[in-house]
Amino acid sequence: MTRFITDMGGPLVVTASDTGEQSNIGRYGVWDSKGRRKPEVIACGDDLDALQAKYGPDLPVHPLTGGTS
């Protein structure tokens, strides 16, 4: 089982295309393969310490950066 955390650099707000409703999904995402071929997000939040306390303090944190190629 492979787990890791992604860091979006700030809270991420998404907007539903059908209703226009906005939701904050948090700065950090915890990913886990759970026996699948590719990982899935199992938790999101803005508190890295809390996520590490729950899912593992030694999980690697991967900062994600935007930009153009």
Domain ranges of the chain: 3-63
Q: What is the pLDDT of residue 34?
A: 79
Nearest alpha-carbon partner for 6 in 28, 23, 26, 24: 28
> pLDDT tens digits for 4-43?
999 998 878 889 999 999 998 899 999 998 777 888 999 9
What is the structure's pLDDT at 55?
95
Amino acid in position 64: L
pLDDT of residue 6: 95
> Is 28 buried (19+), middle (13-18) or exposed (0-12) by CB count in 10 A?
buried
